[in-house]
Structure 1
Amino acid sequence: MDFALGNGGGSGDEQETSNGRKGKKSYHRHTAHQIQQLEAFFKECPHPDENQRRQLSRELGLETKQIKFWFQNKRTQTKSQNERADNTVLRSENERIQCENLAIREALKNHEKVSNLLAKYIGKPISQIESLAPVLGSSLDLSAAGNSLNQGLGSSTLDLDLSSSLTISNNTALPHHLKGISDMEKALMLETADSAMDELIRLLRINEPLWIKSPADGRYVLHRDSYEKIFPRANHFKNSSARVESSKDSGMVTLSGMHLVEMILDSDKWVDLFPTIVTKAKTIQVLETGMLGNRSGSLQLMYEQMHILSPLVPPREFYFIRHCQQIELGIWVIVDVSYDCSKENTSPSRSWRLPSGCMIQEMANGCSKVTWVEHVEVDDKTQTHRLYRDLICSSIAYGAERWVVTLKRMCERFAYSMGETTPTREVGGVISLPEGRRSIMKLSHRMVKNFCGILSMSGKLDFPQLSEVNNSGVRVSVRKSTEAGQPSGMIVSAATSLWLPLPPQNVFNFFRDEKTRVQWDVLSNGNAVHEIAHIGNGAHPGNCISVIRPFIPTENNMLMLQESFIDTMGSLVVYAPIDIPAINIAMSGEDSSDIPILPSGFIISGDGRPETGTGTASTKRKFWKVRWFTSYSGFPDIGI
C-alpha cells in the first residue's frame, strides 16, 4: 500500500485503474476541510476506535479504511518528527557535555602542571599553599598574592633593573609590579607559555575545520565555532566594540632556520626584521635562555608596539610571553601570548594577543619555510577612520600575510647586504668597497626605521578637510628630538592620506624614479636630479637604495639618500637629505650610526576592499591609498 505521509493529506485505499490492470494503486488527496477535521480529531484522540472511525467516515465522506490509514500515517509521521527533535536536543547536549569535559580535563591538566611547577620553584606542593585558590582565580594578576607568598615561604624574588630611566615608550612605562617577578608568578608564566604552545601547534598543523578560506579574498581565517569548541575560553574584552582578527599564511625565506630563530628571540633584531610593522620592542625579563645550540625552551617576557601605514591607524601595544620550542629536528615553533602585566590596560588600542606565532622549518640551501598565525582580540574604543576601516577590520593590516611578506623581503635584503646574491649595480663607481655598501645599507635601514617609528605621530594636531571621503586632511606633530641619529631641536612632521584610482606599480614608479622627481619633490627646487649610486637589495628592480644629487646651485653640499621597495602588500619610498661629508663617511665603510637623518616618504597600499569588475586581475580597477609624510627640523630648542 502507498501511505500518504507528508501532511497526512492523502488516502491509502487501493482501487483498480480504468485500464483494468490489477494491483494498480491510485492516490487520493483529501480536501483541506477533511484534513482540518482529521487534524483536530487527532489532537484529541490519536487512536480512534471503530465507532469513532465510522462517525468520521460519515461526516467527511470517506471510507473507514481511509480514516484508519490516515491515522496510522499521522502517528508514524508524528513519531518520526519527535524522534528527530529528540535527536537534535541530544546532539546539542552531547556537544555541550563534551566541551565541559574538555574544559575540565584542561583545568585538571593545568592544575597538575602548576602544582609540579610550584613544587619545583617553591619547594612545596600545591596542597600546602593555602592562598593558591584565590590566586588562580585572578587571571594571572598575582602581584599581591605573590608578595604574601614570598613572605610566608621565605622565597626570593627576581629583581629587575627597571628604573625610571627604562621607560619603554614616551607615554608607557613598565607596570610597577613587574619590577620584581615572584617565583610563583614565574611558574604560572611558564604554564601560560606551555598552554599557548600546545594551542599554536594545533593551529599551525590543522586546516579544516579550524581554518576556512574567506569568501571575500581567499585568505585563511579561523572558523569561530570550531575554534571555541576545541579551545573554550572567555573573551578578554566584554565591550560590544570588541572583535577578533585571525589569519594564517606561509612562505619560503632565504635565511637558515637557526639564524631566524636567533633574530626573533632578540628584541632589537626583531625590530630590524619587521621595521614597517614593529616600531618598538623590549625584552623585559629572560626567564629561560633555552638549550645551547637550538634555543629550545627559551622563554622571555617582552613588550612591543606595532604601527603601520598612517597616523590614522592607532598603534597596538602588547606585553607578552615569547616561548620557543624545537618540536622536531630542524623545526621550531615560536609562540607569543599576551600577559596581564597590570590591572589597568594602558594600551591605547586595547589589544590582546591570543596564541600566535610561527613555525620555522629548515630547508635546503640555507632557506626556511615559515608558517605564520596571527590571532588577536581588539577593542577599538575609537572607530577607525573610514579610509582604513576595511583594511584594519579584514585582518589584512596586521595579518599573517603581511608578516610573511615582510619577512621574505627583509631576509632577501639581508642576503644582499652580505653579498650573497647579485652584486651591486653602481653608477660611476662611487661605492667601491663592500664595507661601504653595507654601511650605506645600514644607514638607509635606520632611515626607514625612523620613518616608520615617527609615523604614529603622538600628540598630533589635526587640520581636517571639509570632506574626508577621499582624503584625511593634514596631521601635524611637533616634538623635541632627543634620540641619537636625529637632528637636534624641534621637529615638525606632517602627514596626509588620499585615494588614487591608479595601478599601484605606476604610482610607485612615479615616486621612485629620479626622472619624475622634479614633478613632486620640493627639495629639488624644480631642478632635475641625478642618481650617482645605486644598490639593489632585492630581486625586484624597485627594491633598491639610491644616492641622488639634486642640481641646486645654493645647495652644492647636499645629497639625497632614498630607499624604495615593493611587495604584494604595497610599496614604500623613503628619502632624506644628507650632506656630502656624512655620505662619504658611510661610503668609506665607517660607522654611520651618528649621522643625523630626518626622513620623509610615501606609503602605497590597497584599501582592503575586494577587487571589483569582470576583467582579469591586471585590468580590474582598484583604489590605492597614498600616504605622504614629511619632517622638518631647524626650529630653536625652546618649550612649546
Structure 2
Amino acid sequence: MDSGDEQDVPDSQGRKKRYHRHTPRQIQDLEAMFKVCPHPDEKQRMQLSRDLGLEPRQIKFWFQNRRTQMKAQQERTDNCLLRAENDKIRCENIAMREALKHVICPSCGGPPSNEDSYFDEQKLRMENARLKEEVNYVASLPPCYQLQLDHVSSMASKYLGRPITQLPPVQPLSISSLDLSVGGYSNPGLSPSLDLDLLCRSSSSAFPYAPTATSELEKPLMVEMATNAMEEFIRLVQTDEPLWVKSGSDGRDMLQLETYERMFQRPGQQLKLLDTRIEASRDSALVIMSALALVDMFMDASKWQELFPTIVSKARPIEVLASGMAGSSSGSLILMYAEMQVLSPVVPTREFCFLRYCQQIDQGMWAVADVSVDFPRDNHLASQSRRLPSGCLIEEVPNGYSKVTWVDHVEIEEKNPVHVLFNDLISSGMAFGAQRWLTTLQRMCERFACFSVAGVPTRDAGVAPSPDGKRSMMKLAQRMVSNFCANVGASIGHKWTTLSGPSDIGVRVTLHKSTDVGQPNGVVLSAATSIWLPISPESVFSFFKNERTRTQWDVLSNGNTVQEVAHITNGSHPGNCISLLRGLNSGQNAMLILQECFTDASGSAVVYSPIDLPAINIVMSGEDPSYIPILPSGFTILPDGRSTGGQGASSSSNPMGGSSGSLVTVAFQILMSSLPSAKLNLESVMTVNNLISTTVQQIKSALNCP
C-alpha cells in the first residue's frame, strides 16, 4: 500500500476507524514548519491544510504528537545523563571503600591514624548522601522513565560486556581537544651518512588518531555538547558591543573576555590551563558559492581540507554520530580530527579533536558549529589546546553568493615555543584568526568559480584553447599546491632536522619515501628555511611572480629567461593565476614549468614544478592529470604581524592589518634517489644547503636587503 493511501484498522473496542499515513512530501513540509514554529496558530494550520491537502485537525494532531515526541526525546537524554552520573558516583564510592581497607601509614607501615580515618569516613558519608539524593530522584520518576533508564543500562552492559555497576571510575567529559603529539625539531650532528629511518616519514602520514566507536553513554553527552555549542555560537554571531569591539589598530572584531565570561557564566574560564591564552575573532564577507555547496564542503572532511589547503594540513572524520535529515545536512553531527598549520617548518601545528554540528536555522540560513571534546581513549595526550564554541553562519544571497560570518574562538596551550620571527604574527591572533579563514575562503571560492566557467577568456588563450584543457591544467595545479602545502609545514610526522643556514632559523630538511600516484617514486628530500624581509608582502609577491625577474632568484634556471606561454585566471585579483613557463634560450626538449600564484590579505604563495612536454600535451588535451608526476617547490609570503599603527582600516578592506615587513619561507623538493633504501649523505646535505643559501642571498641582493 502506498504511503498516501488510507486503510481501516480496529480500535480498542473492535470498531474500525480511518487511519491516514502522510506522504513523504507532507512530512517534509510539516517538519520544516515545526522547526520554524512548533505551536502554529489556527491561521497557519489552515494554510498548511490547503497546501498539503490535509484536514486542520490532522495538522493539529500531528503537531501535538511531534511536540510530545520531542519532549520524550529530551527526557530520554536527560535520563541517560542522570544514570551515567549515578553510576559514576557509585563507582567512586566503591573505589573509596576499597582504598580505605588498604590504607597504610607511609612512616611505619601500619594502619592510618584515627584522624585520617575519621576524615576519609566523613568524606565517604558526604558522597553517599549525594548519591542517595540522586537515586531518590530517579526513584521518583514515572515508571516509563524508569524503563528508559533500565534500557540504557542494559545497552551499556551489552556494549561493554559487563554490568555498568562494575565499571571503573569514569573520567568526566570536558570541553578540551584531543591532544596529539607535534613533530619536534632536532639538531643531530651531521655525519657522512644519516640513517634514513631517523628522518624518514611516509608520503602519506599515518592518521594520528585511532578511531574507536563511541559508546551509547557518550553519544547523549556529545549531542548535548554540540547543541550547547550551537546556541553559544549563534549568540556570538548575533551580539555586538560590548561583547565584541573594534580593534583600534586594524579594525578587527575582538572578543572582550570579561564580558564573555559574565554573559556565558564562565568566571575566570573556570579551570583555565597553565601557559594558555585565548584567541577570539569575528569577521564576515561575501563569497561566490551557494550556501548548500558551502555546507556540503564543511561537513565533508576531505572537501574541507581541499577548500583550505594553506590552513588545514590534515582532516579526518572519526565517527558520524548523526546523519541529519534525508537529503540535507541539517542535524548532522560528526566527530572530526584536524591539524591547522602556518606554512613554515618552525611554526608548531595545532591539533584538535572536535564535534562539528550543522543546523538549518532559517530558510536559506545555515550554521556550522565546532567544539572540542576530550574523553578516555588509548592515545597519549600531549597538548591541551581546544576549540571553544566556534563556527560559521552561512546565509544565501542572490546571484549565487553567500554571506559568511566566521567566529574563531580557541584556547591555546603554548607548549611548543614559536620562533622569534613568527612571534608577532602568532601572538596577534592573525595567523589562525577568522580573517585568515575568510580571505582564504573568498579566494578559493573564486578559484572554483573560474574552474566552472565553460569558456576560456582571451587573456587565457594560448596553448590551452579548450575548456577541457583549462580544467585539466587547473586540476594539476591544485594538486601541486596541495602537495606543496602538505610538505612545507610542521605537520605531525615531519621530522625536520636543522642544518646550518643563511638565517637564525637555518635550513630544515626532511626525507620521505614517495609511493603515491602523481609523485616520483623514490626518496624525496624536502628543504626549507624562513627569513624576514623589511619589504611589504605585496612587493615581495610581485617580485616572485614576475617572469622577467625570475633569473634574479632561480638558481636552477642557469640565467635563462622565461616566457609565459599559457595563462589561466584564478580569481578577481590579477595575481591569482596559473602559468606555463618556457625557457627562451633552451632547446625544444627542455622542461617546462607549471606555476600557480595566489594572494589575499592573509598571505601569498608562488608554487612551481618542472613538467615535461609529453605531460603538458596530455593536460592540454583535457585528459585526467592525476598520474602526471610533479614535485613542487616555491615560496610563501606572510605579513610579519607588526602593526604599522594608526591606520584603523576596516577588516573588509584590510583584514590582516598593516605590516612592516614580510616572512618568506623558501622550500624545495628534490628527488634524491629512486631507490627506497637511499640514505641522506653529506654530499646531499651540502648540495641542498648551498641551493637554499644561494637562493636566499640572491633574493636579498635583488631586493636590496642587507
TM over 0.5: yes
- Counterpart residue number, 1:22: none
Paired position in structure 1 for 2:312: 278
The alpha carbon displacement at 1:422 in A equals: 7.5
Question: Is 1:637 matched with 2:701?
Answer: no
Partners of 1:595 and 1:297 lie apart in 2 by: 40
| Residues 1:380 and 1:306: Cα distance change in structure 2 (over 3 Å) | same
Evaluate the alpha carbon distance shift between residue 358 and residue 367 of structure 1 in structure 2; reply closer, same or farther with a 3 A threshold: same
- 1:463 pairs with 2:499: yes
Match of 2:360 among 302, 326, 345: 326
Residue of structure 1 equivalent to 2:233 = 200
Q: How far, CA to CA, are the matches of 2:572 and 2:455 in structure 1?
A: 9
Relative distance call for 1:342 and 1:515 in structure 2 (3 A) is: farther
The Cα of 1:130 is off from its aligned counterpart by: 3.9
Secondary structure class of the residue paired with 1:459: coil
**In structure 1, distance between residues paired with 2:475 and 2:212:** 34
Distance 1:315 1:124 in 2: 37
User: Which residue of structure 2 aligns with residue 383 of structure 1?
Assistant: 417
Aligned counterparts of 1:135 and 1:433: Cα–Cα separation in 2: 70
Aligned mates of 1:168, 1:222 — CA distance in 2: 40
What's 2:256 paired with? 223
SS at 2:416 equivalent = coil
Whether 1:307 and 2:341 are equivalent positions in the alignment is yes
1:170 to 200, 205, 218: 205
Q: Give, in whole Å, the separation in 2 of the partners of 1:267 and 1:324.
A: 13
Residue in structure 2 matching 1:431, options 464, 469, 475: 464
CA distance in 2, matches of 1:450, 1:604: 17
Amino acid across the alignment from 2:468: E
**Residues in 1 aligned to 2:340 and 2:627: alpha-carbon distance in whole angstroms:** 25
Q: Which residue of 2 aligns with 1:83?
A: none
Q: Name 1:212's counterpart in structure 2.
A: 245
Asked if 1:501 corresponds to 2:534, the answer is yes
CA distance in 2 between partners of 1:612 and 1:628 (Å) = 29
Q: Which AA in structure 2 matches 1:296? A: S
**Once the 2 structures are TM-superposed, how far is the Cα of residue 506 of structure 1 from its aligned partner?**
2.2
Q: Deviations for 1:65-86, whole angstroms, at most 9, x for unmatched residues?
A: xxxxxxxxxxxxxxxxxxxxxx
* 8 A Cα contact 2:456 2:467, kept in partner: no
> TM-score by structure 2 length?
0.66
1:47-62 maps to which residues of 2 (within 5 A)? none
When residues 360 and 465 of structure 1 are mapped into structure 2, their CA distance, relative to the original with a 3 A threshold, is same
- CA-CA distance at 1:154 after TM superposition: 4.8
TM-score for the superposition, normalised by structure 1: 0.72
CA gap 1:379/1:480 in 2 versus in 1, 3 angstroms:
same
1:478 and 2:516 are equivalent in the alignment: no
- Deviations 1:83-140 (Å, cap 9, x if unpaired)? xxxxxxxxxxxxxxxxxxxxxxxxxxxxxx9996686479979459841557999xxx
Write the deviation string for residues 591-627 of structure 1: whole angstroms up to 9, x where unpaired. Answer: 1112111111111111111115899999x88111111
Is contact 2:603-2:639 (8 Å) kept?
yes
1:241 counterpart (254, 260, 275): 275
Identity across the alignment (%): 48
Q: Does 1:269 align with 2:299?
A: no
**Which residue in the other structure is 1:180 paired with?**
213
Match 1:451 to one of 477, 484, 487? 484
Structure 2 contact 575–598 (Cα < 8 Å) conserved: yes
What is the CA deviation profile of residues 1-32 of structure 1, one whole-angstrom value per residue up to 9, with x for unaligned ones?
xxxxxxxxxxxxxxxxxxxxxxxxxxxxxxxx
CA contact (8 A) 1:118 1:187 kept: no
1:634 is paired with a residue of what secondary structure? strand
Amino acid across the alignment from 1:463:
L
Taking structure 1 as reference, are residues 420 and 392 closer, same or farther at Cα in structure 2, changes over 3 Å only? Answer: farther
Cα distance in 1 between the residues matched to 2:371 and 2:554:
44
User: C-alpha separation between the residues in 2 aligned to 1:168 and 1:317?
Assistant: 20
- Greater displacement, 236-245 / 350-359: 236-245
Structure 2 vs 1, CA of residues 545 and 350 (structure 1 numbering), >3 Å: closer, same or farther?
farther
Q: Tell me, what secondary structure is at the counterpart of 2:421?
A: coil
Matched with 2:548 is 515
Question: Which residue among 377, 391, 402 is the counterpart of 1:368?
Answer: 402
Q: Is the 8 A contact 1:362 1:368 kept in 2?
A: yes
1:36-57 per-residue CA deviation (whole Å, 9 max, x = no partner) reads xxxxxxxxxxxxxxxxxxxxxx
Q: Secondary structure at the residue paired with 2:447?
A: helix
Query: Matches of 1:423 and 1:612 in 2, distance apart?
Result: 41
The correspondence of residues 56-135 of structure 1 with structure 2, limited to 5 A, is: 120=76, 126=82, 130-131=86-87, 133=89
Q: Equivalent of 2:438, from 387, 401, 404?
A: 404
1:440 match: secondary structure: helix
Unaligned runs of 5+ in 1: 1-112, 138-145, 158-166
- The one-letter code of the counterpart of 2:87 is S
Deviations 1:442-467 (A, max 9, x none): 11011111111111251111125597
SS at structure 1 position matched to 2:399:
helix
| Ranges in structure 2 where 5+ consecutive residues have no aligned partner | 1-68, 94-148, 161-201, 680-706
In structure 2, relative to structure 1, the CA distance for the partners of 1:236 and 1:350 (3 Å cut) is farther
Q: Do the aligned partners of 1:114 and 1:191 also contact (CA within 8 Å) in 2?
A: no
Shift in CA distance, 128/627, structure 1 to aligned 2, threshold 3 Å: closer
Taking the aligned partners of 2:375 and 2:299, their CA distance within structure 1 comes to: 20
Q: Structure 1 residues 545, 211: CA separation in 2 closer, same or farther (over 3 Å shift)? A: same
Which amino acid counterpart does residue 553 of structure 2 have in structure 1? Answer: W
Question: Aligned partners of 2:254 and 2:270: how far apart in 1?
Answer: 19
Per the TM alignment, residue 310 of structure 1 is displaced from its structure 2 partner at its CA by 0.8
Counterparts of 2:527 and 2:84 in 1: how far apart (Å)?
61
Question: Residues 599 and 499 from structure 1, CA distance in 2 versus in 1: closer, same or farther, beyond 3 angstroms?
Answer: same
Distance 1:474 1:578 in 2: 26
Q: Tell me, yes or no, if the aligned pair for 2:582 and 2:591 is still in contact at 8 Å.
A: yes
Partners in 2 of 1:459 and 1:124 — Cα distance?
45
Residues 456 and 465, structure 2, Cα contact 8 Å, conserved in 1: no
| Greater shift in the superposed pair: 281-290 or 476-485 | 476-485
User: In the alignment, is residue 337 of structure 1 matched against residue 293 of structure 2?
Assistant: no
State the secondary structure of the residue aligned to 1:190. helix
In structure 2, relative to structure 1, the CA distance for the partners of 1:135 and 1:603 (3 Å cut) is farther
Partner of 2:188: none
Could you tell me which amino acid in structure 1 is paired with residue 672 of structure 2?
Answer: G
Contact in 1 for aligned 2:644/2:659 (Cα 8 Å): yes
Cα distance in 1 between the residues matched to 2:582 and 2:484:
21
Shift of 1:425: 2.3
Preserved contact between residue 168 and residue 174 of structure 1 (Cα < 8 Å) = no
Please state how far the C-alpha of 1:504 moved relative to its aligned partner: 2.5
Larger Rg over CA atoms: 1
Residues 525 and 552 in structure 1, CA contact (< 8 A), matched pair in contact too? no
Instruction: Letter of the 1:568 partner, please give it.
Output: A
What SS does structure 1 have at the residue aligned with 2:506?
Answer: strand
Pairwise CA distance, 1:584? 1.7
Distance in 1 separating the partners of 2:84 and 2:669: 61
1:328 Cα shift? 0.8
How far apart in 2 are the matches of 1:336 and 1:267?
Answer: 13
How many pairs does the alignment contain? 504
Specify whether residues 115 and 317 from structure 1 end up closer, same or farther in structure 2 by C-alpha distance, changes over 3 A only: farther
Report if aligned partners of 1:524, 1:551 keep a CA contact under 8 Å in 2.
no
Q: For 1:533, what is the secondary structure of its paired residue?
A: strand
Matched, 1:622 2:660: yes
Distance 1:495 1:594 in 2: 26
What does residue 62 of structure 1 align with? none
Larger RCO: Structure 1 or Structure 2 (Cα < 8 Å, ≥ 6 residues apart)? 2
- 1:247 maps to amino acid: S
Distance 1:380 1:236 in 2: 19
